[in-house]
A and B are shown apart, each in its own frame.
Chain A
Amino acid sequence: MNFDPRFSGRKFASVGTRPVRPDGVDKVTGRARYGADFNMAGQLVGRVLRSPHAHAIIKKIDTSKAEKLSGVKAVITAKDLPDLTDGDAGMYDVLDNCMARTKALYDGHAVAAVAAVDARTARQALKLIEVDYEVLPHVTDVDEAMQHHAPLINEATFTEGLEEKPVKPSNVTKRSQFGHGDVHQGFGHADHIIERSFKTEQTHQGYIEPHACVASVNLDGTAELWVCTQGHFVYRQHCAQLLGLEASKLRVTSSEIGGGFGGKTHVWAEPVALALSRKAGRPVKLVMTRDEVFRASGPTSATSIDVKIGARKDGTITAAEATLRYTSGPYAGTWAEIGAMTAFACYKLDNVKTVGYEVLVNRPKTAAYRAPSAPMAAFAVESAIDELAKEIGIDPVEFRIKNAAQEGTRSSYGPVYGPIGIGPTLEAAKNHPHMKAPLKANQGRGMACGFWFNFGGQTCVDLNIGMDGSVSLAVGTVDVGGSRASLSLVAAEELGIDYSQLKAIVADTSSLGYNDMTDGSRGTFSSSMATISAARNAIKILRDRAAQMWDVPVDDVIWEKGHAIAKGEKYGNLSPLSLKEIAAQSGKTGGPIAGHSELVADGAGVSFATHICDIEVDPQTGATRVIRYTVVQDAGKAVHPTYVEGQYQGGAAQGIGWALNEEYIYGKDGRLQNPGFLDYRIPVCSDLPMIDTQILEIPNPNHPYGVRGVGETSIVPPLAAIANAVSNAAGVRMTHIPMSPPRILAAIEAERKG
């Protein structure tokens, strides 16, 4: 159907207001059902046996004793998940990650699973499974993994993207490169050059809800899966492919999701639960423990990044270069590539070059984490930018404003930008009272910018009008942070009705067409576009029905403020028909009234943010305190401003945790030492100040309301903003994230000693 996505600059009645979310009451009364809150009759408890070794050949698995234990209904290994991936290397990696086939590739890698009548029996059964491992040398550090003598994680890995195919295998799966101009020449024109190396440790999305699902495979080849996921349609495809099921016979229902941030974008335990259910002939509930969540799901890349930036005395950047090495776990990824694309995206550069290396290590398979790969690159670049400004003697905000990308700038990753918000966020930051607030002793202020692409993608929406005039909206993008509220606002806006007349739900995979996942900040952008389209389709029908009721030509009927209006003087005596009045007669005028939409939402506008923060450093202990934090970000159009603020604040808080304390700590044995919330230290309430937000609205020309994605960009600047603030507070440049107290104190002591 023809749908014009162009920005129209209309005035809004509903969009931009802040009503209570439709799923709110369920969530404050404990009634909302998350992954682990659902049960099926006769369900078994599934549990997974995981490798205690970072790298080991699985020589033999003996499950016979476990199978004999009373109450055990199924035991599975990789044999029960045969390879049906048909040459799809990416899916094969997903399969191998779900259940190790020949080698355990990280501490926590699944090697077998059981389904039993209760948790205690399942735990006992795991202890009875005998796995014969041949332990291999392992490597967890990104730089060490690139060394020639490093243990090889996959002997068939030959680096892609090199001019000549390498003769020897290595742990580098791919090299990628972006940029334009001639950096060599550019550096020749520079009066000042900063060159630095940075490291960031691996972090986890840290969602509070562990992965959980209930799987039920029937004898007739149909199956059901209840699961917490960011994309139930994608889970359906993956599970169907890995289990050999027909996609349409696998009905996947997305539960309420207790946080994902990218970590619930691909399958982990779901194919295992389905395989257990198939073998046991009963439903199986599989819930990860927190320890399993850390050891075997999630994390983002650990990185090592070199940055070189040169500028003239007047503050014009002449060249910028970065080499980025990102871990992808034991399977190939494209994380360094994304880092290389985003690194210099905020700036207008004549000469820029970025090179990315994807590095295999014995750590869990890297998953997306909110603007994946961008925060680490921004940390390195924005730290160097700050240092360069200082060396030239220009204010860091002015320096960034002078070099900021704008409409028409060729981005460092290639395309030329349309209208963008980096300049405005910088100007807003410059004029923010925060910038002028006084600082006390041992306090420092830092700022940094961030960029994220934002996605669109496949989207399907159903809008049904009940005979009482109430409207149900069924969407297929999982609601991770309030999108049912924003989409209801959009539908109310289009239909011209009150928000309270609508109820939005997330439909299961059998009730709606395919939807991409809620990732890449696409949820509200894409689904609002489909909602607008569905509403407009419904309005066409409403007009037609009104025309029937009046017995006038449909072309004479327009839709305004929730009413059909017969246009023209000859209809002067026809009073407008409300949606409710038209709906009441729908049974007689052609049946139910609905609007449907399926589309690929393209043109997600890129997003920029600038953050300011004040940090106090205790020079005797290296302890830090966040004193004040301000987020300025372009939303295009904030549909539900409160939830937009929430995204800004949440991303900032995650970035603060990453910057200061969160990290995966591996022992010399390659085992994760802190797989719990006690020692994987995400920020607690008393760690943070209020997080101020300023929403800018620079309309996205490719969305009817000007909406851009808002979910991810807010995690990009904090690492650098805090590093710059710490540097200003303590007088030392921090190049290793997280800036934990021992690292800060060591840096201060080193500086003291000279």
Chain B
Amino acid sequence: MRYIRPLSIEDAVGELAKAVGPAAILAGGSDLLVRMKGGFVEPELIVDIKRIGGFSDITETADGFRIGAAVPCAVLGEHAALKKAWPGVVEAAKLIGSKQVQGRCTITGNLCNASPAADSVPALVAAGAKAVVAGPSGKRTIAVETVPTGPGRTSLAKGEIIEAILLDKRPAHAGDAYLRFIPRTEMDIAVVSAGINLTLDDKGIIKTARVALGAAAPTVLLVEEAAEALIGRTLDDGTLERLAKICSGACRPIDDKRGTIEFRRKVAGVLAQRVAATAYKRAGGK
């Protein structure tokens, strides 16, 4: 086993590309170290990306925000402009694990761990976030929902690293929100979750909408039909009811130690309603 701490993205990509045995990228380590402890993975190479320039920074650009792959979730909550623009993304990131875990875990790691129940992912998908991927053949920018392809699997090729997550600049009358259901008040993995991002017109009519569900299928679900049900409407009771029905129907959950199929279906709809109400309010809707 080898631990390295490259200072450049080129070095990191190079080491990963030429690695013979299993290699792991270490940012916050809150998933990797748990899997190593349980004996589920034994990487030959651990690439700690925290000292690569720019990886630990949040930068505000003309287009929006660039969140480095090694930025701990706690830092997202301390960034006033990001919190103001994307409260849903930030609250999702701040729900992962405990204060201790938030001091380490990253939204990029959350995405790449590819758990169907990842907290920040539905919020990022709803937000239309993009991932900047660096690899042996250069850089590309992809929609975050294309990263996880199944539980524990991603679309990243050997040697590829996500170096940052991009979030757009916010127009007027925009709001996002995220909620998850857990049995306790903290420390649990989402049993089911929902992230919604809305923009409204001056009259409070929903112009654009993105609705994402977590822990409802093998990967995060972007529910287009739910978005369509919202667009062109305000959040009246009928719309909310339709939203819940569509979200419940869109779920393809499983029975497991955290919840049942029936429970996840029902609660996905309930959460979608509650999240929509918060996002709508944040967007200035009344």
Contact = CB atoms under 8 A, between A and B. Distances in A.
A742 B257 CA distance: 11
A625 B258 CA distance: 18
Contacts of A641: none
B55 to A, nearest CB: 28
Given A291-B38, A741-B263, A742-B263, A623 B181 contact: yes
Interface string B174-199: 00000001011111110100000000
A742 B259 contact: yes
Contact of A665 (B39, B181, B189, B257): B257
Given A674-B257, A679-B257, A687 B184 contact: yes
A673 B39 CA distance: 16
Interface in A671-710: 673-674, 677-679, 681, 683-684, 686-687
Given A620-B270, A621-B270, A684 B186 contact: yes
B115 to A, nearest CB: 12
B262 interface: yes
A673 B257 CA distance: 7
Contacts of B257: 665, 673-674, 679
B8 interface: no
B266 interface: yes
A725 interface: no
B258 A687 contact: no
A746 B185 contact: no
B266 A745 contact: yes
A684 B187 contact: yes
A745 B263 contact: yes
A660 B183 contact: yes
B260 interface: yes
A180 interface: no
B263 A684 contact: no
Contacts of A154: none
Interface in B46-95: none
Contacts of A661: 183-184
A123 interface: yes
Contacts of B209: none
A686 B270 contact: no
A742 to B, nearest CB: 4
A740 interface: yes
Interface in B240-286: 256-260, 262-263, 266-267, 270
A123 B39 contact: yes
B258 to A, nearest CB: 7
B185 A686 contact: yes
B184 A684 contact: yes
Interface residues of B, number: 21
Contacts of B260: 742, 746
Nearest to A745: B263
Contacts of B258: 679
A681 B184 contact: yes
Nearest to A657: B184
Please indicate which of the listed interface residues A681, A683, A749 has the most CB atoms of chain B within 10 Å of its own CB.
Answer: A681
A741 B185 contact: no
A158 B256 CA distance: 36
A286 to B, nearest CB: 17
A683 B184 contact: yes
Interface in A196-218: none
Nearest to A625: B185
Contact of B187 (A123, A623, A678, A740): A678
A684 B185 contact: yes
Interface-central residue, B191, B256, B260, B263, by most chain A CB under 10 Å? B263
A678 B187 CA distance: 7
A674 B262 CA distance: 21
Contacts of B39: 123
Given A291-B38, A679-B257, A741 B183 contact: yes
Centre residue among A625, A687, A741, A742 by max chain B CB count within 10 A: A742
Interface residues of A, number: 26
A621 B270 CA distance: 8
Nearest to A621: B267
A674 B258 CA distance: 10
A622 B262 CA distance: 12
B185 A681 contact: no
A514 to B, nearest CB: 40
Nearest to B255: A742
A687 B185 contact: yes
Contacts of B183: 623, 660-661, 681, 740-741
Chain B CB within 10 A, most for which of A123, A625, A677, A745: A745
Interface in A605-621: 620-621
B126 to A, nearest CB: 20
A678 B184 contact: no
Interface string B31-48: 000000011000000000
Nearest to B244: A620
A678 B266 contact: no
A291 B187 CA distance: 18
B263 A678 contact: no
Contacts of B262: 742, 746, 749
Nearest to A679: B257
A660 B191 CA distance: 16
Contacts of A746: 260, 262-263
A475 B153 CA distance: 57
A751 to B, nearest CB: 14
A740 B257 CA distance: 11
Contacts of A740: 183
Contacts of A673: 256-257
Contacts of A674: 257
A295 to B, nearest CB: 13
A681 B186 CA distance: 10
Contacts of B181: 621, 623, 741
B98 to A, nearest CB: 8
A419 B183 CA distance: 42
Nearest to B188: A681
A678 B186 contact: no
A746 B259 CA distance: 11
A61 B263 CA distance: 44
B157 to A, nearest CB: 31
A63 B57 CA distance: 52
A660 B259 CA distance: 14
Interface string A743-754: 001100100000
Nearest to A686: B185
A45 to B, nearest CB: 15
Contacts of A665: 257
Interface in A574-621: 620-621
Interface centre among B181, B191, B267 (most CB of A within 10 A): B267
Nearest to A678: B189
Nearest to A683: B184
B220 to A, nearest CB: 20
Interface string B124-156: 000000000000000000000000000000000
A686 B185 CA distance: 6
A734 to B, nearest CB: 15
Nearest to B263: A742
B101 to A, nearest CB: 11
A683 B187 CA distance: 10
Nearest to B270: A620
Contacts of A683: 184
Contacts of A621: 181, 267, 270
Given A620-B270, A623-B181, A742-B263, A686 B188 contact: no
Given A620-B270, A686-B184, 14 more contacts: A621-B181, A621-B267, A661-B183, A674-B257, A677-B187, A678-B187, A681-B184, A684-B185, A686-B186, A687-B185, A687-B186, A741-B259, A746-B262, A749-B262
5 contacts: A621-B181, A623-B181, A677-B187, A678-B188, A741-B191
Interface of A: 123, 291, 620-623, 625, 660-661, 665, 673-674, 677-679, 681, 683-684, 686-687, 740-742, 745-746, 749
- Kindly list the 7 A-B residue pairs having the minimum CB-CB distance in the complex, ordered from nearest: A742-B263, A686-B185, A665-B257, A620-B270, A673-B257, A661-B183, A742-B260
